[in-house]
Amino acid sequence: MTADLNCDGVSKRFGSHVAVDALSFTVERGSFFSILGPSGCGKTTLLRMIAGFIEPDAGDIVIGGGSMRGVAPNRRPVNMVFQQLALFPMMSVGDNVAFGLARRGVARAERTRRADAMLERVGLGGAAHKRVDEMSGGQRQRVAIARSLVLEPTLLLLDEPLGALDLKLREHMKIELKQLQAAFGTTFVYITHDQSEALVLSDHVGVMNHGRFEQLGTPQDLYYRPQTPFVAGFVGANNRIVGRAARSEGGVVEIATSDGWVIHARGAGTIAADGAVEGFVRPEVASLGRSAEELPAGQPRHAGRVQSVLFDGANSAVLLQESRTRREFRIALPQTGQFSDLKPGEPVFFSFDPERAVCFPARPGAEGRDG
């Protein structure tokens, strides 16, 4: 596979703050790559370095086989869709799309033709004469993408472009973006703090924290095989249980919390005997039952009491309190409607397969913080 983007030891510091820390990664041609991280993790700095607005302190960025060192943003084979889209309000939609072509010296008739054709492809045929403020949020989004794609860039950078949209439109644009990327085959580099966007859209995701990638892999990798406690906590919902590794047998660690609850989870990384650990159990991994007999055989069983029912259609869940320690534990409700009459205060039982839960050596300072 050929790489469209290759970052090699890219670093950037602002004063004493390291924004991007010796980052190396490769993005394959035609793929959808997302950088997922909380705000302040350095993802915007990284994107702006790829676009050329910030010069890295160290390392090299190679785009389409050419080093970008000392290449100005207007000379890079890269275009960017800005967070607030940055459409030019003083121009018509057609002129916005034709802007880059005009800068390349394409003749007027030709650039009108190409801009019209591009607007047609993104489903905005005939909108060329409209003013930018006549377009809806979703349409503007498409204009911004058309404006970049008409230049046939090697890379299209997207800086949280869905952040400004309302929820319903955001869900819709997510699908549309994925389809557009598939139709054009352009390499997309997308940054977001929304894990659902990253999971739905991407072929590969880099989870970024403190200027480094915690893990780089497919969405399935991140979800099912997180390699660090940060990834386990950041990607998807998770019950987090902090304790000590009381025993370890066949790769399964027995975690004992300070208040005396014992759970079992698959160990990841080197776990020292009696070392501090963080365990993670996804809400959909656990089974729920009104009696202990309903639970799958062979799994350690726990008792609890319903604290609240969180109804959200297909994403409904129940929040429990473990009987002895009163720790909160979240379990996804099955779609069968079996537990639709669950009431707060009701005693229940739950269990989960230790192989599908995971535990890591605790991060420094992580002890005692449950979540």
Write out the residues near another protein by the rule CB under 8 A.
51-53, 72-75, 78-80, 82-84, 86-88, 90-91, 99-100, 103-104, 147-148, 151
Smallest distance from the beta carbon of 132 to another protein, in angstroms? Answer: 11
Asked if residues 188 and 44 have their Cβ atoms less than 8 Å apart, the reply is: no
Rounded Cα–Cα distance for residues 83 and 71 (Å): 23
Nearer to another protein, 103 or 290 (CB): 103
Asked if residues 231 and 207 have their Cβ atoms less than 8 Å apart, the reply is: yes
Rounded Cα–Cα distance for residues 55 and 34 (Å): 21
Smallest distance from the beta carbon of 74 to another protein, in angstroms? Answer: 5
Asked if residues 283 and 247 have their Cβ atoms less than 8 Å apart, the reply is: no
Smallest distance from the beta carbon of 63 to another protein, in angstroms? Answer: 13
Nearer to another protein, 81 or 295 (CB): 81
Nearer to another protein, 90 or 109 (CB): 90
Smallest distance from the beta carbon of 6 to another protein, in angstroms? Answer: 20
Nearer to another protein, 78 or 285 (CB): 78
Nearer to another protein, 88 or 224 (CB): 88
**What is the SS3 assignment for 107?**
coil
Q: Which residues contact 266 (CB under 8 A, 6 or more apart)?
A: 251, 252, 253, 354, 355, 356, 357, 358, 359
For residue 123, which amino acid is it?
G
Question: What backbone torsions phi and psi does residue 32 show, to the nearest 5 degrees?
Answer: -110, 110
Rounded Cα–Cα distance for residues 151 and 115 (Å): 10
Rounded Cα–Cα distance for residues 128 and 116 (Å): 7
Q: Which residues contact 83 (CB under 8 A, 6 or more apart)?
A: 159, 160, 161, 163, 164
Smallest distance from the beta carbon of 169 to another protein, in angstroms? Answer: 20
Smallest distance from the beta carbon of 104 to another protein, in angstroms? Answer: 6
Nearer to another protein, 40 or 77 (CB): 77
Asked if residues 92 and 99 have their Cβ atoms less than 8 Å apart, the reply is: no
Smallest distance from the beta carbon of 151 to another protein, in angstroms? Answer: 7
Nearer to another protein, 188 or 352 (CB): 188
Smallest distance from the beta carbon of 90 to another protein, in angstroms? Answer: 4
What are the contacts of 14-22 at 24+ separation with CB within 8 A? 18/42, 18/210, 18/211, 19/45, 19/211, 20/45, 20/46, 20/49, 20/56, 20/211, 21/210, 21/211, 21/212, 22/58, 22/59, 22/212
Nearer to another protein, 147 or 204 (CB): 147
Q: Which of 211, 206, 189 is nearest to 50 (CA)?
A: 189
